[in-house]
Amino acid sequence: MRRRVSRVALAAVLVSLVLVAVPLAIGIRISFFADERAELERAALAAAVQVGPDFAGGDPVELPATTTDGQVAVYDRTLKLRAGTGPQVADGPTRAGLAGKVVQGQSDGSLVVAVPVASSEQVIGVVRASSPISGVWSRILLAWLAVLGGAVFALLIGVGVASWHAKRLSAPLESLARIADAVTAGELSARAEPSGIAEVDTLANAQNTMVERLAQVLDHARHFAADAAHQLRTPLAGLRLTLETALTDPAVDARHTIDEALRQTDELQRTVQDVLQLSHLPTGGPQVRLGTISGLFSETESRWHGLFAEQGRRIVFIGEDAVVRRAVPLANCRQVLDVLLDNALTHGRGTVRVTAHDLFDTTTAVDVEDEGSITADTPDIFLRGNHAGTDQGSGIGLALARKLAESIGGRLVLASSSPTRFRLLVPERSDVTDGGATGSSDAQQALRRTSIR
């Protein structure tokens, strides 16, 4: 990546230098020759002024000092050298000067300018100024060397700038490649940092989003088996209890036992369906089935009454008439209550009370309370793997229950540690989805105002 960027930048610099340097070199050559001819013409004109009207009669000529490295000479109409330095035999440009016009040309490796001298509208002589062409080329080459030096200096600057930009552009892309390799190796916590380059940051954000989604999918897949086993444990225990009772008590009506086993099998199947439905990642999919709180309480009591009775404990369901007629997402609330009741059965003691009441007029609260106490820290009790202050349990149930509550826009909190009371908060909503639809703003504000007591 760095080499490609550097090569592209250097190619652009070289093309720019060629496009600038070649026309500049041509311009220098033309300018230097034009300046030299102009200088020769000025020297020849200065010498022509010194030629008097009696020049044709043999009057001597005193030529001024020249400012060039060339030669200045005066010829008469017979093209005889009369003064100055020049060839004894007049050359072509000098002979052409007798025509009365300034002539510029080359002769024997020199630049020549011939200026006619006139008197009484008659050409009486020619002033010839010349300089070697090699001297002009020497100055041109020096100028070209200066241009080349500037081009080399500009090229070095271009190389430095190209290297800096190549490093700046390639570094974040190389970082993205390293992070992708880390994710491939299983490090799903790796994230790309902002680079300050908009296009690269867009790619980094897309990669981070992809990794976060991948982490959610893998985490969801890892937890699904444990969550399913945890939720199926209670209905399986109820079915086993029914069958064991029929085996140990000959007086039990076989048909009643079969009917009860079938009912518990239906509950087991419904639990499997709930777990499968709730196992999908939130995608804003179709609406889930709603049911009243009274129906939810009736189903829950039929499943849990026998298990609590076996331990000599009671389970009581209490609800206000207006509250128990409210609709709630059945699958989520049913599984949350199963977790809380299993927790009360395993870790709690005494009578268990399940109470539904109104909270802030916009939220339904369902409390599950027993006569025991809990010693775990409130912030940690819902973490997966936490055993709620006991050495028993898998540390899955409460974490799963909170996730299920939050998936419908609700909350699960520990309202009291002694006696133990968990509170499920379900906001009123008309379009609950399995992706956790949002409720009214009043309901959300009510949930935020709820504190753990």
The CA distances from residue 372 to 59, 177, 349, 397, in Å, are: 142, 54, 5, 18
Answer yes or no: are the C-beta atoms of 131 and 86 closer than 8 Å.
no
Q: CB atoms < 10 A from the CB of 141, how many?
A: 12
- pLDDT bracket for residue 297 (50, 70, 90): very high
Query: Which residues, 6+ apart, have CB-to-CB distance to 224 below 8 Å?
Result: 279
Which run of H or E residues covers position 124? Answer: strand 122-132
Domain boundaries, the chain: 2-51+68-150, 282-449
- pLDDT bracket for residue 104 (50, 70, 90): very high
- pLDDT bracket for residue 133 (50, 70, 90): very high
If you average pLDDT over every residue of the chain, what do you get? 80
Q: Tens digit of pLDDT for each residue in 354-413?
A: 999 988 777 899 999 999 888 766 566 777 655 554 445 455 678 888 888 888 888 999
- pLDDT bracket for residue 286 (50, 70, 90): very low
Report the CATH fold assignment for 2-51+68-150. Answer: Beta-Lactamase (3.30.450)
- Output the pLDDT for position 384: 64
- What percentage of the chain reaches a pLDDT higher than 70? 81
The CA distances from residue 81 to 40, 67, 92, 93, in Å, are: 18, 21, 14, 14
Kindly tell me if the per-residue pLDDT of 451 is higher than 60: no
- Output the pLDDT for position 31: 95
DSSP state of 2: H
249 or 68: whose pLDDT is higher?
249
Beta bridge partners of 73: 84, 128
Kindly tell me if the per-residue pLDDT of 26 is higher than 90: yes
Mean pLDDT of 33-39: 92
Position 96, amino acid: A
Query: Which residues, 6+ apart, have CB-to-CB distance to 352 below 8 Å?
Result: 308, 313, 314, 315, 316, 341, 344, 345, 368, 369, 370
Answer yes or no: are the C-beta atoms of 96 and 75 closer than 8 Å.
no
Q: Is residue 84 helix, strand or coil? A: strand
The CATH superfamily of 282-449 is Histidine kinase-like ATPase, C-terminal domain (3.30.565.10)
Answer yes or no: are the C-beta atoms of 414 and 381 closer than 8 Å.
yes
Kindly tell me if the per-residue pLDDT of 327 is higher than 60: yes
The C-alpha atoms of residue 389 and residue 376 are separated, in whole angstroms, by 5
Q: Which of 221, 308, 233 is nearest to 271 (CA)?
A: 233
Kindly tell me if the per-residue pLDDT of 317 is higher than 90: yes
Q: Tens digit of pLDDT for each residue in 227-261?
A: 566 566 667 777 777 777 777 877 777 777 787 77
Answer yes or no: are the C-beta atoms of 30 and 60 closer than 8 Å.
no
The C-alpha atoms of residue 20 and residue 17 are separated, in whole angstroms, by 5
- pLDDT bracket for residue 122 (50, 70, 90): confident
- What percentage of the chain reaches a pLDDT higher than 90? 22
The CA distances from residue 244 to 71, 252, 257, in Å, are: 134, 11, 10
- pLDDT bracket for residue 437 (50, 70, 90): very low
